[in-house]
Structures are given as C-alpha cells and as structure tokens.
Amino acid sequence: MRYALGGRLPRRREWVYHDLTDAGWRMRALGRLLVQLAPVVVVLALLPGPGFVHWMLPLFVVLTSGFVALAYGEDLRDRRLRQHGLGPRSGSVP
C-alpha cells in the first residue's frame, strides 16, 4: 500500500525495478492510479445535483487523470526509480 501511494520502501527493491521497467508497466501504473481514484470518484458521484453530474464529474476526473498518467508516465516512472535509488532506466538493480 505504501508503494502504491508513492512511499519509499525498505532495501529489497528488485521487484520495484521489475514493476517499473517490465513490459506492461504503463498499465500497472494506470491501475494503481485508478485504485487511488476510487474513493474520490465515489464521493464525487454522491454529490447532490442534476443526474448527469453523478456520472459526468467522476468520468471527467478519471479521464483527465488517466491522460496525465499516460502522457507523463515515463517522467513519473523515472522519478520513482530515482526515489528507490535505482536510477532511470539504468539496466541494473543495486
């Protein structure tokens, strides 16, 4: 949970390197984002207002957040690699 929310982890980091560099890393990152957005989306869906607000506002938040995550995915991944002391795309696990 700590890793999914952006926290730094203890020493054993081989799986972090694998998670951030293996095939499918973008989809895993997008999945983590959607899990983090779930409570926000539920709250937004429960806001009072016209019917279309209950689905349009959560959809807007998910689509815009997903776009940012995919557009800046490599920068975000490089930041996480540096955060864990692995260096961006270094090819080796310390």
> Each residue of 40-90: pLDDT tens digit?
999 999 989 898 888 999 999 999 999 998 899 888 888 888 877 776 554
Whether residue 63 lies inside any domain: the answer is yes
Whether residue 6 lies inside any domain: the answer is no
pTM above 0.75, yes or no: no
Residue 94: what pLDDT? 47
Q: Are 26 and 32 in contact (CB under 8 A)?
A: no
For 64, the domain range is 14-83
86: exposed, middle or buried (C-beta count within 10 Å: 0-12, 13-18, 19+)?
buried
- The closest alpha carbon to 79, from 70, 71, 89, 94, belongs to 89
Whether residue 3 lies inside any domain: the answer is no
Tell me phi and psi for residue 54, to 5 degrees.
Answer: -65, -25
Whether residue 93 lies inside any domain: the answer is no
Token output for 38: 């779930």
Counted domains in the chain: 1
- How far apart, in whole angstroms, are the C-alpha atoms of residue 94 and residue 90? 10
Residue 25: what pLDDT? 86
